[in-house]
């Protein structure tokens, strides 16, 4: 969902929801891994460069899935982002000044190292074991998000993270984006999730149907343009404003008729009930059946 080029806005929504205090303004994917469109072909997201509103930069590594020694696994992947920042031959005095690295682990299981507390999100840093307010370095940070611990109902949703986690848990049973979760990014996320969860054949059928709808819109636009052009031709031939007005009206009417048929055809293809199509388009039952 979040590691594919073109979905950076969804990735920004996710990371900003998990790290709200960082005030992230933009994200950039640098991973060379192929994410794939289907669930079985997905891999973990990694190497995400984030820029905050005040211009600061940091790196995020994201890991998914169940594995023993999960904390060690997160540390292992963090090492890549840390060592990659050190350049061989660099002799500058700030050679070891690192961009902060955040490793986010999103799991569909309870992490054994954490235990059974009720906190969905945990954050870790390198601190003095006695003086917890004394940070040794801010360059290495870990965040865990355990999905099984999220138990809020729909009416209890408050933050963007609440809404995301609710979607993750309930997406298979949701037929449309709930009112409380609607918005540009969430609407897009819902469509991307639905498409990615399809099998390959269903994806092909969906894309074929989408192309057919686009072709229908193109035909409708062409019919409208031709109607308008016909109106202008008749008007010029007669030399009368009445002719031009009539041509424009006929063109608009033809375009609207094509648009109505296109909408009805698409609704029928989606399995919308006949009486609903009649109410929305004004077409008769016979006209709809003939499509």
91-114 pLDDT tens trace: 677 777 788 888 888 888 888 878
Q: List the domain boundaries for the chain.
A: 8-197, 202-289
How many C-beta atoms surround the C-beta of residue 198 within 10 A? 15
Q: Does residue 12 have a pLDDT over 80? A: yes
Beginning with the edge strand found earlier in the chain, give each strand of the sheet holding 48-52 in spatial order: 24-29, 48-52, 57-64, 101-107, 135-146, 121-127
Report whether pLDDT(136) > 70: yes
Q: How many percent of the chain have pLDDT more than 90?
A: 12
Average pLDDT (57-66) is 71
Task: Work out the average pLDDT over 168-184.
Answer: 80
Q: What is the pLDDT of residue 38?
A: 45
Q: Which of 55-69, 156-170, 225-239 has the lowest mean pLDDT?
A: 225-239
Mean pLDDT for the chain overall: 77
pTM score of the predicted model: 0.59
Q: Can you tell me the distance from the alpha carbon of 280 to that of 266, in angstroms, rounded to the nearest whole number?
A: 12
Q: Cβ distance 203 to 37 under 8 Å?
A: yes
Q: Residues 62, 66, 70, 73: what is their CA dihedral angle, to the nearest 10 degrees?
A: -60
* 34-57 confidence digits (pLDDT tens): 344 444 444 444 568 888 888 888
pLDDT exceeds 80 at position 163: yes
Token pair belonging to 184: 């540009």
263/65: higher pLDDT: 263
d(CA 149, CA 213) in angstroms, rounded, equals: 42
Residue 18: pLDDT band with limits 50, 70, 90: very high
pLDDT at 34: 39
User: How many CB atoms lie under 10 A from the CB of residue 10?
Assistant: 21
pLDDT band at 213 (very low <50, low <70, confident <90, very high): confident
C-alpha 27/C-alpha 51 separation (Å) is 6
Element (H, E) at 106: strand 101-107
Predicted confidence band at 249 (pLDDT cuts at 50, 70, 90)? low
- The two beta strands, 135-146 and 121-127, are antiparallel
Query: 290 in helix, strand or coil?
Result: coil
- Phi first, then psi, for residue 59 (nearest 5°) are -115, 140
Contact indicator for 2, 10 with CB cutoff of 8 Å: yes
Query: 153 or 202: whose pLDDT is higher?
Result: 153
Q: Strand, coil or helix: what is 127?
A: strand
Give the mean model confidence (pLDDT) for residues 237-256: 63
Q: Is the pLDDT of residue 148 over 80?
A: yes
Cβ atoms of 207 and 191 within 8 Å: the answer is: no
Strand 24-29 and strand 48-52: the pairing is antiparallel
What pLDDT was estimated at residue 121?
93
């Amino acid at each position: 969902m979040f590691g594919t080029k073109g979905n950076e806005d969804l990735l920004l929504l996710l990371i900003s929801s998990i790290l709200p205090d960082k005030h992230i303004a933009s994200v950039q994917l640098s991973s060379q891994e192929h994410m794939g469109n289907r669930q079985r072909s997905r891999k973990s997201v990694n190497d995400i460069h984030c820029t905050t509103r005040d211009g600061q930069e940091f790196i995020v590594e994201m890991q998914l899935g169940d594995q023993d020694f999960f904390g060690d696994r997160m540390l292992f992947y963090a090492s890549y982002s840390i060592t990659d920042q050190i350049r061989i031959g660099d002799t500058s005095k700030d050679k070891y000044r690192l961009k902060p690295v955040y490793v986010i682990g999103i799991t569909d299981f309870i992490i054994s190292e954490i235990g059974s507390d009720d906190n969905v999100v945990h954050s870790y840093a390198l601190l003095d074991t006695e003086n917890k307010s004394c940070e040794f370095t801010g360059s290495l940070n870990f965040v865990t998000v355990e999905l099984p611990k999220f138990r809020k109902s729909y009416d209890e949703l408050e933050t963007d993270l609440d809404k995301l986690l609710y979607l993750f848990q309930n997406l298979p049973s949701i037929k449309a984006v709930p009112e409380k979760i609607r918005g540009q990014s969430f609407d897009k996320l819902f469509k991307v999730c639905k498409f990615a969860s399809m099998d390959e054949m269903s994806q092909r059928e969906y894309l074929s149907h989408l192309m057919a709808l686009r072709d229908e819109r193109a035909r409708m636009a062409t019919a409208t343009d031709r109607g308008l052009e016909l109106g202008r031709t008749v008007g010029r031939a007669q030399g009368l404003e009445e002719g031009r007005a009539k041509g424009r009206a006929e063109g608009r009417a033809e375009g609207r008729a094509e648009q109505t048929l296109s909408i009805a055809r698409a609704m029928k293809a989606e399995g919308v009930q006949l009486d609903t199509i009649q109410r929305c388009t004004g077409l008769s039952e016979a006209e709809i059946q003939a499509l």
